[in-house]
Amino acid sequence: MTLDAREFRDSLGAFATGITVVTATGADGTKVGCTANSFSSVSLDPPLVLWSIAKNANSFDAFNEAKDFAIHILHEGQEDISRLFSTKEADKFGQADHSEGRAGVPVLNDYSVRFECSTESLYEGGDHIIIVGRVHAMDNADKEPLGFYKGQYAKIDVNK
């Protein structure tokens, strides 16, 4: 059986997710960041999370080689940040309020939750690499999350 790629992608979109921005510093010192909704918890002890990046992404080499990275769960007011980090824009950090976090990783100053991680493991995943990170620091700003559903941003009403 051969799956239609567009139909498969649309079907995956029926799973509502949050949106993250992942940041790191490349081997040459360049700040890199990308939008990802392929984020999940892995383990509480030790504290592990995962995300994946496409092998054809502009920042693939930097993330594949990074020893440290940060994952920012975006809040409902950050559609613009999600869009910025999903582009091939050269200077994303020139447009995003950020500072330097653990191990020199650029971190966004506005988020719902931020995890600062070291790379624990890399796994092949078809056209992606799955990156497992050990969480060393986190901060929960407790803001309403930015959701994504069927290819569109979605508000998640947690007060119902």
DSSP E strands in 37-150: the ranges are 40-43, 48-54, 68-73, 98-100, 106-108, 113-125, 128-140, 146-149
Checking if the pLDDT of 158 tops 80, the result is no
Higher model confidence: residue 155 or residue 62?
A: 62
112-135 average pLDDT score: 97
- pLDDT band at 156; cut points 50, 70, 90: confident
Q: Which residue type occupies 132?
A: V
Question: Cβ–Cβ contacts within 10 Å for residue 96, how many?
Answer: 21
Domains of the chain, first to last: 19-155 (2.30.110.10)
- Averaged pLDDT score across all residues of the chain: 93
- pLDDT band at 160; cut points 50, 70, 90: low
Higher model confidence: residue 19 or residue 156?
A: 19
Predicted confidence at residue 12, as pLDDT, reads 80
Predicted confidence at residue 48, as pLDDT, reads 98
Higher model confidence: residue 108 or residue 5?
A: 108
What does the pLDDT look like over 17-75, one tens digit per residue?
999 999 999 999 999 999 999 999 999 999 999 999 999 999 999 999 999 999 999 99
